Chain A
Amino acid sequence: MVPYIIRRLFIAIPVLFGVTIVNFIIINMAPGNPVDMYIDPNTSQEQLNLRKEQLGLNDPLWLQFIHWLSNLMHGNLGFSFSTYEPVTKIILERIGPTFELMLLALLVGLLIALPIGIISAVKQYSKLDYFTTGISFFGISIPHFFLGLGLIYFFAVKLQILPAGGRSTLGSEGDFLDKVKHLILPVLVLAVGIAGQYVRYIRASLLEVLGQDYLRTARAKGLKEFVVTNKHALKNALIPIITIIGLEIPLLLGGAVITEQVFQWPGMGQLTIQSIMSRDYPTLMALNLLTAFMVLFANLLTDIVYSFVDPRIKYK
């Protein structure tokens, strides 16, 4: 097991390197550059050129990449082109809020999905099943911005019981209750989408297991139907779900671009969009590197967890 993990970690290095090169090329291929953003008409061409020179944008691409890479080796991700702050600092400030939002959304989503998925599998083709299936499709397909704006309109504007956005009330010291109130709507928007998907996964996965022989054996030896479904069947049905949850882990740090925009949540999704719009290359590179790393890490983690849950799987 341990040698396997070490081997996987070594494989990750060239993959990460490849990802950064591709990212670097794509980011630089996007038309426009940070200097084009200055719309102050009093800036002369020479001043714009000087600014490019200062940002290192006049160097050939491969040299820029080497600079970036050598800085990275020294643990320096560079400075943002729009705020001039160290990128590491900007990202560290954003990870917390995003993680908080995404983890809660995932948990709430799963907690909603689990019982509904089970019921809908057990009562396959019943009216209840059709109903929950309908609801889950609604959850999957409703756009986040639409649901978000709808909830804001209803809870913040009409009822005035929840805030319309942000992470805490500006000017207040931000007590716990205040933070919870700010979390409710964005978590709900994300959880609805997550729950919708997982109801489908859990239902499908459980249905596959419910027809298996060992369940007939379990019933034959006189176990209650509740135990059969929720213990024998569900345990095996959840194995593929673990893979799917594992694949969500990068999202926990990547953030939810649209929901964060709608609720002005100071997270990674918002940072990503703003960095793209302002062509903030160093921040974008760092965000991509982090996401690539998280994807690789999550895959490894999923594989490891798999071997614990399913004894048939062994790594050498």
Chain B
Amino acid sequence: MKKVKVKFLTIFSIALLLFLSACSGADDASSTPKETGKGNTQAGLGDTIIVGISNAVGSINPINATDMAAMTISSILFNPFFEASETMEFLPKLADSLETTDNQAFTIKLNQKAQWTDGKPVTTEDVKFTFDTLANPDVQSTGLKTLNVIEGLDDEGHLPKGEKTVSGIEIVDDKTFVIHTKKPTDPNYIKGALINVRTIPSHILKDKDPATLHQDPFMLKPTVSDGAYALKDFSGETHVELKANPSYYGGAPKTEKLFFKVVPSANLTAQLQTGEVHMNYPAVGPIAIQDIEKVKNMANVETIDGKGYDYQEIYFNTKTIDDPKMRQAIVYAINRPQLVEKLLKGKAEIIDGPYTNPHPYLNKSLEKYEYDPEKAKKLIKESGWDKSKTIRFNVPVGNQVREQAAVIIAENLKAVGLNVQVQKYDFPTHMQKGAKHDFDLMFLGIPYQIDPDVSTFYFTKAPYNFADYSNSQLDELLMQGKSEPNPENRKVIYDQVQEILHEDLPTITLYSDYQMGAVSKKIKVGEPKQFGMFYNVQDWEIEK
């Protein structure tokens, strides 16, 4: 019995000692980094650039990447044929040129020096294999989507049953191939659609089973690629590490390591300040609007004002709010100037339709809806809307500014006598309610589309036509616009499309917010951009 007592006492005193030493240990630990800390975070990392993003990265599979961050990283590993710049020019990447004489046969020449990291050249064989794989309905991939204009594909961009290869892809030689389309097509449409086609190595993948290709270790963590950087470590929820590809045909990268670091947007600002992140990627790592002034005042960071590409819009459920007059009334009632000035601190612009200011197809002759609550009240009266009826306003959670905007909009609508109820949902729920048209007003952010085709939002029964809008005249115009090869004629068509949308209002764009970029002053080359940010990634350099 005595022994047990002694034992217990000893254990307890050891525990106590441990506790005391842990206390002083913690003190030591927090004071030693004081001396070594600064050296530690900077020395040895001169060859590393860290890009901050705020969403987890999904699969970077070159033919199956679905989120923006994953697509971007995948396009650094596997060069697409072209990349879009901020001015919406298509810059050659894997392709050297695209030429056509009849808008139906497009001759593409690959970069002569292009090669895989295992030393094999990138050839048209790889290109053909890529198209065949993307068009194969057995393969889980993002598919060819808008490239369904290519000969030999059905409307979904798939091969018909029994076919193994895409007949519209013709190989001329090792580095030259021709894309044949069913009908004459705008070359810019082809280039734009090619942005998300990344060529994959056929010599590695050709014998794999198509049905499980999306789970293949190579597709999850590619070991052979052709871009400026190769994959080193993928851990989608925290970071993605890339290492320089010294044999890159666009020139060996000047910085050894490139990281994408997933940081919640509340911490992004802090990490820019501490130097744990060197720059943000505005498209998926926006700086919170309330932090903008703070970031601008940081001594170690430079800021770049963005442009408004993406936009926030409200879908009207055209079945429950079926009178266009009533939809116009709601638009007149929303105080958008106040939203932009007060909530977004002027870092946004007001537009009405689906094309933002940088878009070449924006119809500038249309007069924007003003804030006019009196006119709104008048239109509500004319439309005979029953004011006691509840208007369900669906808002996705996650974007704080958007949630606050929803509150203001609801107040605006109450001010003209409408009975609005804001309903917040997590994103998958929100989207499902949208697809079922289970809402009256639906808030959604829409990414910038390079091509002017908006049929997916407005064509009868199209997947993103949450408004359940149907207008045969518009449907016809959208079909024409899609198949018209001449850009000038297309402009005329889409001007008309915008006129109809402006009058009928299945959706109203609220604002297009500027995405600010922030970059550490230690970075000599490389800066945040909404488009084409990584086009010159091989030249990026950080002060050593």
A69 within 8 A of B: no
* CA of A149 to CA of B263, assembled, Å: 13
* CA of A315 to CA of B33, assembled, Å: 52
A42 within 8 A of B: yes
* CA of A155 to CA of B214, assembled, Å: 43
A48 within 8 A of B: yes
- Stretch in A10-18, A160-168, A292-300 touching the partner: A160-168
A44 within 8 A of B: yes
Interchain CB contact (< 8 A) of B270 among A152, A167, A177, A227: A152
Residue from B9, B32, B274, B426 whose CB has the most chain A CB atoms within 10 Å: B274
Interchain CB contact (< 8 A) of B45 among A46, A156, A172: A172
Interchain CB contact (< 8 A) of B137 among A50, A167, A271, A279: A50
- Stretch in A82-90, A124-132, A249-257 touching the partner: A82-90
* Residue numbers in B under 8 Å from A48 (CB-CB): 463
Contact A111 B44 (CB under 8 A): no
B327 within 8 A of A: no
Contact A178 B40 (CB under 8 A): yes
With contacts A36-B435, A46-B156, A231-B8 taken as known, whether A162 is within 8 angstroms of B236 at the C-beta atoms is no
* Residue numbers in B under 8 Å from A46 (CB-CB): 155-156
Contact A181 B29 (CB under 8 A): yes
Minimum C-beta distance from B511 to chain A (A): 19
With contacts A50-B137, A108-B22, A184-B30 taken as known, whether A45 is within 8 angstroms of B238 at the C-beta atoms is no
With contacts A172-B44, A230-B12 taken as known, whether A43 is within 8 angstroms of B220 at the C-beta atoms is no
B249 within 8 A of A: no
Contact B30 A47 (CB under 8 A): no
A134 within 8 A of B: no
- Stretch in A203-211, A239-247, A262-270 touching the partner: A262-270
Q: Which residue of A lies closest to B44 (CB)?
A: A172
- For window 4-48 of A, CB contacts with B under 8 Å fall at 30-34, 36-48
* CA of A214 to CA of B461, assembled, Å: 81
A93 within 8 A of B: yes
Contact A170 B259 (CB under 8 A): yes
B135 within 8 A of A: no
Interchain CB contact (< 8 A) of B429 among A31, A54, A181, A278: A31
Residue from B33, B157, B237, B241 whose CB has the most chain A CB atoms within 10 Å: B237
Contact A83 B220 (CB under 8 A): yes
* CA of A79 to CA of B220, assembled, Å: 12
Q: Which residue of B lies closest to A145 (CB)?
A: B266
- Chain A contact residues (Cβ within 8 angstroms of B): what range? 35 or more
B61 within 8 A of A: yes
Q: Which residue of B lies closest to A80 (CB)?
A: B59
Contact B40 A169 (CB under 8 A): yes
Q: Which residue of A lies closest to B263 (CB)?
A: A264
* Residue numbers in A under 8 Å from B47 (CB-CB): 171
- For window 91-134 of A, CB contacts with B under 8 Å fall at 93, 108, 111-112, 114-115
Minimum C-beta distance from A95 to chain B (A): 14
A142 within 8 A of B: no
- Chain B contact residues (Cβ within 8 angstroms of A): what range? 35 or more
Contact A161 B33 (CB under 8 A): yes
Minimum C-beta distance from A167 to chain B (A): 8
Contact with B along A212-254 (1 / 0, CB 8 A): 0000000000000001001100110000000000000000000
Contact B267 A262 (CB under 8 A): yes
B271 within 8 A of A: yes
With contacts A32-B428, A235-B8 taken as known, whether A83 is within 8 angstroms of B18 at the C-beta atoms is no
Contact A36 B428 (CB under 8 A): yes
Minimum C-beta distance from B506 to chain A (A): 14
Contact B267 A170 (CB under 8 A): no
Contact B273 A157 (CB under 8 A): yes
With contacts A31-B428, A36-B435 taken as known, whether A83 is within 8 angstroms of B271 at the C-beta atoms is no
Interchain CB contact (< 8 A) of A84 among B5, B19, B32, B219: B219
- For window 9-27 of B, CB contacts with A under 8 Å fall at 9, 12, 15-16, 18-19, 22, 26
Contact A169 B41 (CB under 8 A): yes
Contact B428 A261 (CB under 8 A): no
Contact A164 B237 (CB under 8 A): no
Q: Which residue of B lies closest to A169 (CB)?
A: B41
Contact A230 B9 (CB under 8 A): yes
23 pairs of residues in contact across A and B, judged by CB atoms under 8 Å: A31-B433, A36-B428, A40-B66, A44-B456, A47-B143, A83-B59, A84-B59, A84-B61, A155-B30, A163-B41, A165-B267, A171-B50, A171-B257, A171-B259, A177-B32, A177-B36, A181-B29, A230-B12, A266-B237, A266-B238, A277-B426, A278-B58, A278-B428
Q: Which 6 pairs between the two chains have the least Cβ-Cβ distance?
A: A32-B428, A171-B48, A36-B431, A111-B19, A31-B429, A32-B432
Chain B interface residues (CB < 8 Å from chain A): 5, 8-9, 12, 15-16, 18-19, 22, 26, 29-30, 32-34, 36-38, 40-41, 44-45, 47-48, 50, 56, 58-59, 61, 64, 66, 137, 140, 142-143, 145-146, 155-157, 214-215, 219-220, 235-239, 241, 257, 259, 261-264, 266-267, 270-271, 273-274, 276, 425-433, 435, 446-447, 449, 456-457, 461-464
